[in-house]
Structure 1
Amino acid sequence: MRILLALFFALMSAPLPALADEDHDRALEALRDGRILPVEAIIAAAQKDFGGDILDVELEDEDEGFVYEIKLIAADGRIMKLDYDAASGQLLRVRQRHGGYH
């Protein structure tokens, strides 16, 4: 888990094209201002709700606000994609590779 977090933060700070830099800056500002939750809180919620191992974490700046996208492999082997509202931590959507949408 620490390796995934380190990778996530390393990728967030990697040099990116100008547009991506703007997204990165907006995300950091939102985190500093307390408008979004830290990624650790979202990862903890995902593991509490679904168990398994985290495969990937992304923070998306969407029209309705920031959304954390968590990809995990559940204990039963299902690959799941979870969308959490970055401000509230509310689970917005669950997608499974072979299970469709919930």
Structure 2
Amino acid sequence: MSTDHSAHLPADPPDPDLQRARIVAARALHWERARRLVAWLLALWLATSFCTVFFARDLAHLSVFGWPLSFYLAAQGASLIYLAIIGAYAWRMRMLDRDFARRLGEAA
């Protein structure tokens, strides 16, 4: 009766260089995704700020309750978009941070 003793042997210790490479790769991926997210949200912020001012004259002839539409876009519309940008950043970064933590757990 033969028994396989290899099943009782401890697993080989993880290679520290391989772990370090996985951690560096996870950090690089996380940083790349975070920078891309920030770039897109800053572009949206810039477009919102620029378009509100740039098109104010064109929208001034339209009125809502006696006030020009450009006033409403600047006073409420841009503020709501800024809040949406903050919410999108927090939501997406939470997802990216969880993915990063999972990748670090796999590397350890």
Tell me if TM exceeds 0.5. Answer: no
- Name the one with the larger helix percent: 2
Q: Which has the higher strand share?
A: 1
Q: Which has the higher contact order (CA 8 A, sep 6+)?
A: 2
* TM-score, with structure 2 as normaliser: 0.30
